[in-house]
Amino acid sequence: MFLLVGLGNPGSGYIRNRHNVGFMAADEIVRRHALGSFRDKFHGELSDGQIDGHKVRVLKPLTFMNESGRAVQAAMTFFKVNPKHVIVLHDELDLVGGKVRIKRGGGHAGHNGLRSIHAHVGPDYGRVRIGIGHPGDKDRVVSHVLKDFSKQEDIWLDKVLCAIADHMGILIDGDDGLFQTKVAQNVNPNIKNDINKGTE
């Protein structure tokens, strides 16, 4: 079984924030694959079903970002999920808007949600890093991530969310490179097949 975790902050004031793109991706995965309705469980909202023959559960922690690890740990413990079968979807400042990269293990790069997950379950899980761009000044980071996506960003945002959901089965199968390529091609149909050799 796989646990897919979308990161974000609960509450109507955060729904369209850049920091909540993990929640948006989780919602699109559930919608696209006709998974079960979200229900309250494990300090969050939980959905379940199947993606390409794999049993999956989708979790949106409602603990606020910096306590996300509590919800992830509770679900992992209950369902006895191996960290290697956990995939976390989150916003990434160090990628330009619309770019998606996969990372397995390693550090949390200062992301508060990942920092909390590291503290509760360790680093050995997968991440779908969804680029939201950097404001260029570290003093503007907080305001940047807690602002809504702009209308210009919406042009690529919907494509990215749909692509992530459409190709999630490939990622669950473990083909990170093909997943990245498929997502990139959905966002930009003219992109070459060797996108993974390019720079971030």
* Structure tokens that stand for 48 in this block: 């379940």
Catalytic residue ranges: 19
Q: Which residue has the higher pLDDT, 146 or 191?
A: 146
Least confident of 129-133, 134-138, 153-157: 134-138
**Binning pLDDT at 50, 70 and 90, where does residue 199 land?**
very low
3-state secondary structure of 50: strand
Model confidence over 50-79: pLDDT tens digits?
999 999 999 999 999 999 999 999 999 999
Pairing of strands 86-92, 126-131: parallel
| CATH code of the domain occupying 2-197 | 3.40.50.1470
Q: CA-CA distance, 103 to 109, in Å (whole number)?
A: 12
| Per-residue pLDDT, 195 | 39
pLDDT tens figures, 76-114: 999 999 999 999 999 999 999 999 999 998 888 879 899
pLDDT for residue 143? 92
Q: What is the pLDDT of residue 137?
A: 86
Torsion of CA 51, 133, 9, 155, to 10 degrees: -60
Q: What is the pLDDT of residue 190?
A: 61
